[in-house]
Amino acid sequence: MLTEEADGPRPAAGAAPPAKLSLIALTALVVGSMIGGGIFALPSQMAEAAAPGPLIIGWLITGVGMLMLAFVFQTLAKRKPDVEGGVYGYARAGFGNYIGFTSAWGYWLSAFIGNVGYLVLLFATLGYFFPVFSDSGTAIASLIGASILLWIVHFVIMRGVQEAAFVNTVVTIAKIVPLVTFIGILAFAFKADLFTFDFWGTSSEINGAPLGSTMDQIKNMMLVTVWVFIGIEGASIYGSRAKKRSDVGRATVLGFVAVLALLLLVNLLSYAAMARVDIAQLPDPSTAGVLAHVVGPWGAGFISVGLILSLLGALVSWFLLCAEILRAPAVDGVLPRFLASQNAGGTPTGAMWLTTGATQLMLIYSALNESGYKALILLASSLILLPYLWSALYQVILTARGEGDQQETGRGKDLVIGAIALIYAIWLVYAGGLGYVLLAAVFYLVGTVLYVWARRENKAQIFTRFEVVVFVVIIALSIWAVIALANGTITV
């Protein structure tokens, strides 16, 4: 069911006009969102999952799949310039208000939980310089430090979207320098025998366990690859704030190509600098351990500084995206009206306060339950899978029906791109596993309270018949999740 306009009034988003972002600023949002902590922790996480052969296959699948997703966002930005909000807007336009809500809600959950992961990794990295934040220090010190930084970022963004985007652009440039240096040094230190040793992972064991079949290794690395590419849709979410709508697609593809090159080189060159078994044992950020192995202790400090800059930039990028993904549905009456309010600087104030408050609570929960960086990013990655799937499916349906501003000669190409992106999105849900799907259903069910609030606030129909079916499925999956949590089948 394709529904371009949903029912219900559109509440005012505030008197201030939105700040306009240039191609450079949009590209920096994409790159800054994708390059956070993931690339710095990539070597050890991949060494635990896959040998070089399966790793290369996995990266090829990821590269093609994510490139098709990048083209999906580029194409939809051009074909449907009137649809705002990125993954939320496309899900709502294609499948109605409630599916649009689940896309926005899942994306927001993924983003703010990912921010908690960034803060955890940031203060683990600061432990290299300040022992009070290290493993031998106290968890309360990291919690306090992370909380202070969280609120500093909050008030920086509250000054205005344009100012925050400028800060993000500067930090994005600064954090690429250590990565390029890392790649350059490891290229000179390349050891072919290390890279080719047990190329398919048939005899290697990590922590006493075999890597498994080639397919097992590819599946095991998938959620990590999703995490390092999350943010590819960042420019599309800010489509309404772009100086030129065409810049949205350009920024998406430019950001993707740049980040893919960095990811491949950081990952593959690490395998040629240090034994995989040893890489898998490295603490985060594992790039620090790899570089220290090659050049000595100063390498760890150098990478740690780069990671701190990277995480600071990523926090700004993702708080901006968190606020915007809540503002757009609030304007459409899909989330409560208070989330659409903006200040004089164009910052969605209600959305920012909710995001910062939720992040603070999750930080406390993470500290009490000792949730590490990897556990948080896997949960965050799983929650964004369905928003990606809805966007790809929307392009397939849109193109098949010949809707949108498109030439007939381009329909076949757009259909192929959408189909490949959709297959990739379905594959990601399968590779992520049932446990994450069940947890996502619980989060959607809890968030439905806000959706019902918004629909009643706007005196609009809450559910269509199709949406009732979707809601019942979410309830059933949530009950299944609670039972699985209770008997230990899945854990949080």
CATH of the domain at 174: 1.20.1740.10
Among the listed residues 162, 221, 269, the one whose alpha carbon sits nearest the alpha carbon of residue 381: 221
In a domain, 156, yes or no: yes
Question: What pLDDT is attached to residue 16?
Answer: 45
Q: How many domains does the chain have?
A: 1
In a domain, 306, yes or no: yes
Question: How far apart are alpha carbons 137 and 149 in whole angstroms?
Answer: 19
Q: 27 is in which domain, residue-wise?
A: 23-486
Question: What pLDDT is attached to residue 161?
Answer: 61
Question: What SS3 state is found at 458?
Answer: coil
In a domain, 133, yes or no: yes
Question: What pLDDT is attached to residue 19?
Answer: 52
Question: What pLDDT is attached to residue 160?
Answer: 67
Question: What pLDDT is attached to residue 135?
Answer: 62
**Residue 401 structure tokens:** 């029906």
* Per-residue pLDDT reduced to its tens digit, 156-204: 888 766 666 676 677 777 778 889 999 999 999 999 999 998 899 888 7
192 CB neighbour count, 10 Å cutoff: 8
Question: How far apart are alpha carbons 378 and 187 in whole angstroms?
Answer: 30
Question: What pLDDT is attached to residue 8?
Answer: 40
In a domain, 404, yes or no: yes
In a domain, 429, yes or no: yes
In a domain, 143, yes or no: yes
Per-10-residue mean pLDDT, the chain, length 492: 41 48 78 77 89 90 86 83 85 93 91 85 85 71 91 84 66 80 94 90 81 86 77 69 77 84 91 92 88 93 86 79 87 92 83 93 84 71 85 91 63 88 87 82 93 94 94 95 86 64
In a domain, 13, yes or no: no
Residue 249 burial by Cβ neighbours in a 10 Å radius (0-12, 13-18, 19+): buried
In a domain, 3, yes or no: no
Question: How far apart are alpha carbons 99 and 5 in whole angstroms?
Answer: 14
Half-sphere exposure of 250 (CA within 13 A, CB side): 11
